[in-house]
Amino acid sequence: MLPLARYGMALLAVLLLPMPALAEDSLNSGDTAWIIVATALVLFMTLPGLALFYAGLVRSQAVLSVVMHCVGIACLMTILWLVVGYSLAFGDSAGGWIGNLGKAFFSGVGKDAMRGSIPEIVFAVFQMTFAIITPALIVGAYVERIKFSSVLIFSGAWLLLVYAPVCHWVWGGGWMAGLGVMDFAGGIVVHATAGISALVIAMMLGARRGYPEQVRPPHNPGMTATGAAMLWVGWYGFNGGSQLAADGGAGMAIAATHIAAATAGMVWMIIEWTKFGKPSLVGAVTGVIAGLATVTPASGFVGPLGGLILGAAAAIVCFYAVQIVKHSLKIDDSLDVFAVHGVGGILGSLLVSFLALAMFGGNGLAEGQTAVGQLGVQAIGVGVTLVWSAVLTVVIVKVTGALTGGLRVSEDQEIEGLDLASHGERGYDIGR
């Protein structure tokens, strides 16, 4: 072959053959597409899932106020996460306690910046939906008796002072990550923080008028079940998306999540059937949510058997936690945020030490780590988080009360209902 022909063939091969991937070209379109979908699913958990779940559990005069709390929190947390929250949670830090302000206003988080195999902007917005739902969970502790201004001030301060630091400790490369704390999707970061904070604010705010003798039952259990169904579906994105990849790990996390939810719902029904003679719809879906909260920290580390065990444990432990908080301690954590989310998240965070073992179908622990050793690590992570969250919540509640002239609405407004008193609207206008 003539030299010119050989050069021509070589040039043609260069043009037609795929170029070698460069270091910066690490985008995986499948992973990216999945995390975009997961982001939508997690937002779907708050709006409309959590909003409807909580709205059905209150009096008809307060149904819109609960939805408004969720909407207001979603809007405010989005802005705060953009301005400074993401940077505090995922920015660089010297001591592993809090991120710096290098990523404020999503600085450097352009469409070409990467976080693993996905664009960092996709990761940042995915994490934003977690920052939205976590303070929204606390809404269940103070329904029917709190000023809307108090909700916004408390939630904003709580995001920056409680959620962002704990998120950094565990997921942002902070000191808990260095210790080896296992929290796949938020048993510590989401449920433990929100749960203990809900208990604290419920105690400081005081009970609803007439609690416990004159508290009305849920005004619309069907609405609650609809919201719970949305949460159940959305939790696929919550836990499966935390794998940050479209792979078998995400599939297994979803499988464990679903199995835990179904098991917890069934066991909760059996408990109610045995104790009260009838299983309730509200009880069944509360069991489902307890199972989802409990499997969250473990979902990426366990197998189907682990999901089954976590679901059964969640129903039993959280059911009796509800009884203790409401009837023994007489704390009006109105929609059982601590007993379901807090206790569930703590339970799952501890049990993962054992259920992650290969004998239960899990992925195993870090090299050289034992189940008992991991349990100690998990206990430290849970304990520090509970103390931090509780103490900062006390401070935030006091400051919020000072700024708003007290957290609570007046007695007349509470009787009238927050829909009209705070927002000038009615959830139902039957017969008018």
What integer pLDDT is reported at residue 10 of this predicted model? 42
Question: Strand runs (DSSP E) across 207-314, as ranges?
Answer: none
Write out the two tokens for 211: 């609690």
Q: Please report the pLDDT score of residue 431 as a whole number.
A: 55
Which positions ≥6 away from 155 have C-beta within 8 Å?
Answer: 72, 73, 76, 77, 135, 136, 138
Taking alpha carbons only, the member of 255, 258, 259, 264 closest to residue 233 is 258
| Whole-Å CA distances, 126 to 76, 98, 120 | 16, 20, 10
Asked if residue 41 lies in contact with residue 238, where contact means CB atoms within 8 angstroms, the answer is: yes
Map residue 378 onto helix, strand or coil.
Answer: helix
Domain 26-420 sits in CATH at 1.10.3430.10
**Nearest-angstrom CA–CA distance, 11 and 94:** 51
Predicted pLDDT at 350: 98
Tokens linked to 329: 């301690």
Phi then psi dihedrals of residue 385, to 5 deg: -65, -45
Token pair of 228 as six digits: 């719970």
> Which two three-digit tokens encode residue 23?
């270091």
Long-range own/partner contacts, residues 279-286 (CB < 8 A, 24 or more apart): 280/221, 281/221, 281/222, 281/224, 281/225, 282/57, 282/218, 282/221, 282/224, 282/225, 284/225, 285/53, 285/224, 285/225, 285/228, 285/229, 286/228, 286/322, 286/336, 286/340
Structure tokens at 407: 């957290």
pLDDT in tens, the chain (432 residues): 444 445 444 434 433 444 433 334 489 999 999 999 999 999 999 999 999 999 999 999 999 999 999 999 999 999 999 999 999 999 999 889 999 999 999 999 998 999 999 999 999 999 999 999 999 999 999 999 999 999 999 999 999 999 999 999 999 999 999 999 999 999 999 999 999 999 999 999 999 998 988 888 999 999 999 999 999 999 999 999 999 999 999 999 999 999 999 999 999 999 999 999 999 999 999 999 999 999 999 999 999 999 999 999 999 999 999 999 999 999 999 999 999 999 999 999 999 999 999 999 999 999 999 999 999 999 999 999 999 999 999 999 999 999 999 999 999 999 999 999 999 999 998 755
Model pLDDT, residue 16: 40
Domain ranges of the chain: 26-420
